[in-house]
Amino acid sequence: MTDSQNHKTYTTMPGIKLGWLTTEDLERLAKIAGRYAPPMIKITGGQRLSFLGLSPEKLEALKKELNIHDKPRHSRNRLHNVQACPGSQWCKYGSGDSLAMGEALDKLVLDRPLPYKVKVGISGCRMCCCESWVRDVGLVAEKKGWRFIFGGNAGGRPRIGDVVAENLNDDEAVSLIEKCLNFYTEQASYKTRSARFMERFGIEALKEGILE
Ligand code: SF4
């Protein structure tokens, strides 16, 4: 067996905000990767980098060098992962600035810990490259503003999210998402993903709870 077959190890690099890398990041990562020579380097579905197949000793050394900790970096008062497409800054189809919205949501700190992880997908147009319909929180830019979708999931029991509101400007979208997440935190029990919560709770009850 090769080394990579023996070691089904991996580590995923957190902190690559919105899948956004600078040339300095790439140079540094290329140097480090060159030294450790992982059998596989992969971009994950969550727009992060994963190093696979290293021996446990090399993996530990790599994690130390990249400052990767086994404990989650975020407290549960923050969103687990925010994905954003290039949006109107860089894509000719974009009508919403997905990257700026992603930065705003990445900074969000909620009043209390969330029931479970919340993944966010932000797409700058209805082509929906960031799969916003199957994220806990989805935003899709339309000509008149953001469409906010809640309760989607792409996992083993997939669910298409419910449309909570449309035609939101940037501030309205952030503020409604915060309100929705605080409401979900109050109503859902610990370890209930938004998809399962919405199946039981229903979109009309959610709207009643968070829309004026
Ligand atoms: S969702 Fe639209 S704006 Fe975003 S990358 Fe895809 S085509 Fe471009």
Domain boundaries, the chain: 3-65, 81-210
Distances (CA, A) of 170 to 89, 124, 145, 148: 15, 12, 8, 11
pLDDT of residue 70: 63
Cβ 91 under 6 angstroms from ligand 1:
yes
CA angle 171, 17, 109 (to 5 degrees): 50
DSSP state of 132: G
CA–centroid distance, residue 147 to ligand 1 (Å): 14
Residue 6: pLDDT band by 50, 70, 90 thresholds?
low
Cβ 124 under 6 angstroms from ligand 1:
yes
Atom of ligand 1 nearest to the CA of 124: 3
CA–centroid distance, residue 162 to ligand 1 (Å): 21
pLDDT of residue 4: 46
pLDDT at 71 over 70: no
| CA–CA distance, 133 with 128 (Å, rounded to integer) | 8
Q: How does strand 119-123 pair with strand 162-168?
A: unpaired
Are 101 and 71 contacting, i.e. CB atoms less than 8 angstroms apart?
no
User: Tens of pLDDT along 26-36?
Assistant: 898 899 989 99
Residue nearest to atom 6 of ligand 1 (CA): 129
Residue 110 burial (CB count, 10 A): 17
Question: Tokens 């999931």 correspond to what residue?
Answer: 153
What rounded mean pLDDT belongs to the chain?
90
Query: What is this structure's pTM?
Result: 0.90
CATH 3.40.50.2300 for domain 81-210: no
User: Tens of pLDDT along 74-104?
Assistant: 678 899 889 999 999 999 999 999 999 999 9
CA–centroid distance, residue 57 to ligand 1 (Å): 41
User: Tens of pLDDT along 145-199?
Assistant: 999 999 999 999 999 999 999 999 999 999 999 999 999 999 999 999 999 999 9
Least confident of 9-13, 86-90, 137-141, 173-177: 9-13
Atom of ligand 1 nearest to the CA of 87: 3
| Percent of the chain clearing pLDDT 90 (strictly above) | 67
| CA–CA distance, 54 with 56 (Å, rounded to integer) | 6
Cβ 122 under 6 angstroms from ligand 1:
no
pLDDT of residue 3: 47
Q: How does strand 49-52 pair with strand 40-43?
A: antiparallel
Q: How does strand 162-168 pair with strand 145-150?
A: antiparallel
Cβ 90 under 6 angstroms from ligand 1:
no
What does the pLDDT average to over 36-52? 88
Of 151, 157, 154, residue with least CA distance to 194: 151
pLDDT of residue 72: 58
